[in-house]
């Protein structure tokens, strides 16, 4: 029997009940949300359960929503069940002032570099990560460039006159 979204959702609700919220299925991909401190429990259950078996983390990234106070940063996990070829998406939200999220490294080795990248660009502090330092940007960088408050352009430039580029 194919693993449908209904079955996955049923099993997750059976286990976690009301703690999982925000159920949606954009383009048929099951997506849900929970409290950020629950993330390892949910991932572990998805990994271990004999029927679910989401054992491949295809992606881990963050999104910055500057207007959502108290939950500015979303950390998004994409999981894949290789046997059934089913993917799900799991989001947690955290306050940007204290962006501590438990690291999924112990469960998925793939999370190692992806969490470093997420830290590099969004400053999510993955608690329990063995080597949380910048991976793509230069080590001297002092900010997290994909947060929305930073414009795309390098702010430390002195050689480009803004007037010449039609900026104030």
Partner 1 sequence: MARPVQYNITDKPLEKPYSIVQGPEGYTGEGFFASKLSDVVGLARKNSIWPLPFATSCCGIEFMALMASHYDLARFGSERVSFTPRQCDLLMVIGTIAKKMAPVVKQVYLQMAEPRWVLAMGACASSGGIFDTYSVLQGIDQVIPVDVYVPGCPPRPEAVIDGFLRVQELVGNESLRRRNSPRYKELMETYGIQ
Contact residues for partner 1 (CB under 8 A)?
Answer: 136-138, 141, 145, 150, 152-155, 157, 159-160
Q: How far is the CB of 152 from partner 1 (least distance, A)?
A: 5
CB nearer to partner 1: give 56 or 113: 113
Give the nearest distance from C-beta 153 to partner 1 in angstroms.
5
Nearer to partner 1, 50 or 152 (CB): 152
Minimum CB distance to partner 1, residue 154 (Å): 5
Least distance in Å: CB of 145 to partner 1?
A: 4
Nearer to partner 1, 127 or 138 (CB): 138
3-class DSSP string for the chain = CCCCHHHHHHHHHHHHHHHEEEEECHHHCEEEEECHHHHHHHHHHHHHCCCCCCCEEEEEEEEECCCCCCCCEEEEEEEEECCCCEEEEEEEEECCCCCEEECCCCCCCCHHHHHHHHHHHHCCEEECCCCCCCCCCCCCCCCCCCCCCCCCCCCCCCCCCHHHHCCC
Cβ distance to partner 1 smaller for residue 61 or 107:
61
């Amino acid at each position: 029997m194919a693993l449908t979204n209904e079955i996955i959702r049923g099993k997750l609700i059976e286990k976690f009940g009301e703690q999982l919220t925000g159920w949606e299925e954009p383009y048929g991909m099951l997506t849900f949300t929970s409290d950020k401190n629950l993330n390892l429990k949910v991932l572990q259950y998805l990994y271990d359960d004999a029927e679910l078996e989401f054992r491949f983390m295809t992606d881990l990234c963050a999104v910055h929503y500057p207007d959502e106070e108290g939950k500015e940063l979303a950390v998004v996990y994409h999981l894949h069940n290789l046997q059934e070829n089913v993917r799900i998406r799991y989001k947690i939200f955290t306050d940007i002032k204290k962006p501590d999220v438990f690291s999924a490294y112990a469960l998925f080795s793939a999370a190692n570099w992806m969490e470093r990248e997420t830290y590099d660009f969004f400053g999510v502090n993955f608690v329990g990560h063995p080597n949380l330092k910048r991976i793509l940007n230069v080590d001297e960088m002092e900010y997290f460039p994909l947060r929305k408050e930073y414009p795309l352009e390098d702010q430390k430039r002195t050689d480009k006159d803004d007037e010449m580029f039609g900026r104030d």
